[in-house]
Structure 1
Amino acid sequence: MASLGDGEHQWLERVKSEGAVPLLDPDNCSNGWASPPGDYFMVRGPEYLTTKTKIPGGEYLLRPLGFDWIKGSTKIAEVLKNRKNRVRKAIDEEFPDGDKPFVWAFNLQLPGKDNYSAVAYFAATEQFPEGSLVDQFLNGDDGFKNSRLKLIANIVKGPWIVRKAVGEQAVCIIGRALACKYCVEENFFEVDVDIGSSMVASAIVHLAFGYISMLTVDLAFLIEGQSESELPERLLGAIRFSDLNPACASLYEPSPYGSTDNLQSSLPTRLWKSIGQGFSQLLHPVPGAQENISTVGAVHDNETSEFKEGSEDTKKCMQNHPMPEISKSVLTPSFPFLIPMNQIILVDSVYVADGVA
Structure 2
Amino acid sequence: MMTTMIPLIEGALALMVRPRHGQQDIASNRHVGKQGQPAADVDGARWPRLLLTLSLKLHFLHMAGYDGEKDYSWIEKVRSGGAVPYLEPENCSNGWATPTSDNFMVRGPNYLSDKIKIRGGDYLLEPLGFDWIKGPAKVSEILRNANHRVRRAVDDEIERGNRPFVWAFNLQLPTKDNYSAVMYFVALEPIQDGTLMDKFLKGDDSFRNSRLKLIANIVQGPWIVRTAVGEQAICILGRALSCKYTSGLNYMEVDVDIGSSIIANAIVHLAFSYVTTLTVDLAFLIESQTEEELPEQILGAVRFSNLNPVSAGICDLTSDVDAVSLPPLLPTRLWRSIGFGFTSLPSQGSLEPYANGNLHGEDDAKKDENWFSLKPRVEHA
Q: TM-score, normalised by structure 1?
A: 0.74
Q: 1:117 is paired with a residue of what secondary structure?
A: strand
- Secondary structure of residue in 2 paired with 1:315: coil
Separation (CA, whole Å) in 1 of partners of 2:158 and 2:369: 44
Contact 1:52 1:305 in 2 (8 A): no
| Conservation of the 8 A alpha-carbon contact between 1:84 and 1:253 | no
- Is the CA contact (8 Å cut-off) linking 1:59 and 1:235 kept in structure 2? yes
Distance 1:13 1:173 in 2: 31
Does 2:98 correspond to 1:40? no
**Residues in 2 aligned to 1:29 and 1:230: alpha-carbon distance in whole angstroms:** 34
Partner of 1:155, secondary structure, is: strand
In 1, Cα distance between equivalents of 2:152 and 2:371: 45
Q: Matches of residues 134-173 of structure 1 in structure 2 within 5 Å?
A: 134-173=197-236
- 2:245 maps to amino acid: Y
- Tell whether the 8 Å contact from 1:298 to 1:307 is kept in structure 2 after alignment: no
Q: Aligned partners of 1:39, 1:164: CA distance in 2, in Å?
A: 22
Matches of 1:201 and 1:15, distance apart in 2: 30
Percent identical residues: 57
Partner of 1:19: 82
Alpha-carbon shift at residue 270 of structure 1 (Å): 5.6
Letter of the 1:86 partner, please give it: R
1:111 corresponds in structure 2 to 174
For residues 204 and 55 of structure 1, do their structure 2 counterparts lie closer, same or farther at Cα, with a shift above 3 Å needed?
Answer: same
- Check whether the contact 1:3–1:101 (CA below 8 A) recurs between aligned residues: no
Query: What do you get for the CA RMSD once the two structures are aligned?
Result: 3.0
Equivalent position to 1:129, from 169, 175, 192: 192
Give yes or no for the alignment of 1:262 onto 2:320. yes
> 1:185, CA displacement in angstroms?
1.3
In the alignment, is the contact (CA less than 8 A) between 2:212 and 2:284 conserved in 1? yes
Deviation at 1:309, TM superposition (A): 9.6
Q: Closer, same or farther in 2 for the Cα pair 1:24/1:73, shift >3 Å? A: same
Post-superposition shift, 1:299?
A: 8.0
Aligned residues: 287
Q: Are 1:241 and 2:299 counterparts?
A: no
Label 1:135 to 1:3 Cα distance change in 2 as closer, same or farther (>3 A): farther
Q: Whole-Å Cα distance in 2 between the matches of residues 194 and 94 of structure 1?
A: 31
Q: Would the aligned equivalents of 1:154 and 1:170 in 2 still touch at CA under 8 Å?
A: yes
CA offset at residue 40 of structure 1?
Answer: 1.0
Task: Determine the structure 1 residue equivalent to 2:137.
Answer: 74
Contact kept, 8 Å, 1:298 with 1:308, in 2: the verdict is: no
Given the alignment of the two structures, is residue 186 of structure 1 paired with residue 186 of structure 2, yes or no?
A: no
Aligned CA distance change for structure 1 residues 124 and 228 (closer, same or farther; 3 Å)? same
* 1:303 and 2:361 matched: no
Aligned partner of 1:30 in structure 2 is 93
Task: Tell me the distance in 1 between the aligned counterparts of 2:141 and 2:226.
Answer: 31
Distance 1:319 1:84, change over 3 A: farther
> Deviation digits for residues 12-56 of structure 1, max 9, x if unmatched?
100001111100000111111000011110000001001100001
Look up the equivalent residue of 2:119 and give its one-letter code: P
Q: Deviations over 1:64-97 (max 9, x none)?
A: 0000000000100000111221111222234336
Aligned to 2:127: 64
1:315 alignment partner in structure 2: 377
**1 CA distance for matches of 2:171 and 2:82?**
16
Partner of 1:209: 272
Mapped contact 1:3–1:126 kept (Cα < 8 A): no
Equivalent position SS for 2:377: helix
Task: For 1:9, give the aligned amino acid.
Answer: Y
- The letter for the 2-side match of 1:60 is Y
> 1:134, CA displacement in angstroms?
1.2
Output the CA distance in 2 between the equivalents of 1:149 and 1:309: 13
CA contact (8 A) 1:157 1:217 kept: yes
| Alignment counterpart, residue 53 of structure 1, candidates 116, 125, 135 | 116
Pair 82,54 (structure 1): closer, same or farther in 2 beyond 3 Å: same
Deviation at 1:305, TM superposition (A): 6.6
Aligned pairs (5 A) from 1:266-345: 266-267=324-325, 303-304=365-366, 314-315=376-377, 318-319=379-380
Q: Quick one: distance in 2 between partners of 1:307 and 1:99?
A: 38
**Equivalent residue in structure 1 for 2:263, among 179, 184, 200:** 200
Deviation at 1:129, TM superposition (A): 1.6
Q: Does the 8 Å contact 2:64/2:71 carry over to 1? A: no
Cross-structure match for 2:237? 174
Residues of 2 paired with 1:250 and 1:116: CA distance? Answer: 9
AA aligned to 1:264 is D
Stretches of 4+ aligned residues off by more than 4 angstroms: 2-8, 295-302, 304-310
- Bigger CA radius of gyration: 2
Name the structure 2 match of 1:274.
none
Question: Judging changes above 3 Å, is the alpha-carbon distance between structure 1 residues 166 and 7 closer, same or farther for their aligned structure 2 residues?
Answer: farther
Q: Does 1:228 align with 2:298?
A: no
